[in-house]
Structure 1
């Protein structure tokens, strides 16, 4: 188990890959972001994207899944905030996303000596290593138990 004390600024982790399908894009779009370029291939052709694309929120949700899977060994992470969220380019059907996480800051909790806060820069890149999404997330992480 990795605790707050085991994490260092500069630590980098890479996730597994995730390939998004056309049906996932349209299903998510219909339910949560029903804009034509997320749900209708013909309408998407005439959009600024020139074709069907995943909602940015779906891209963020995929990144969340990848982050959780790549940090399952970290003690009780609870997200407390996201900053500087940017979508650099759309995620298209059949594209593969992977996540790179780098610890950019950490600080102990002032109110609870059993916890600390870790801020990580996340970069989601496609199969061509092009930046798709980036953001910074802060999580609360348990400190190692006293011996």
Structure 2
């Protein structure tokens, strides 16, 4: 069995992976899911407040989620999430940017109504190659307990 509720340590920060954004993937994602001009058209993007092509915030979050699932949650007792509490896109993600993604455990508790699982509050962050935080996501995840009744 992989990661379970008991393995989550409040205050811990885990690097979940890195990703470099390419022009082609920014445009392809945006054409399908967020076709705003500054995501799909380089000429229009230059004239935008961003001054150039930028990734959709939704693409950034999708990539973070993919890294989290492949590098942390695979084989875990994850039962999904009751939702996202907060997303902040703090700086644009540009062609060639490499983001390092981390996941911090903020809080955790065993569910009062379903004591075989716990609720874990986390904050994901994406930091670019310049050390700038470009995105933060606060969410909760549900994780099965390895030993129900043993966790405090």
Whether 1:141 and 2:148 are equivalent positions in the alignment is no
Report the number of matched residues: 147
Distance 2:62 2:125 in 1: 13
Specify the alignment match of 1:101 in structure 2: 103
Structure 2 unaligned runs (5+)?
none
- 1:110 corresponds, among 109, 112, 130, to 112
Distance 2:34 2:8 in 1: 36
TM-score, structure 1 normalization: 0.93
TM-score, structure 2 normalization: 0.90
Query: Would you say the 8 A contact 2:89–2:135 is kept in 1?
Result: yes
Distance 2:77 2:131 in 1: 30
Distance 1:95 1:84 in 2: 23
Q: CA deviation at 1:73?
A: 4.8
Provide runs of 4+ in structure 1 moved above 2 Å: none
Superposition RMSD on alpha carbons, in Å? 1.5
Relative to structure 1, the CA distance from residue 77 to residue 126 in structure 2 (aligned partners, 3 Å threshold; closer, same or farther) is farther
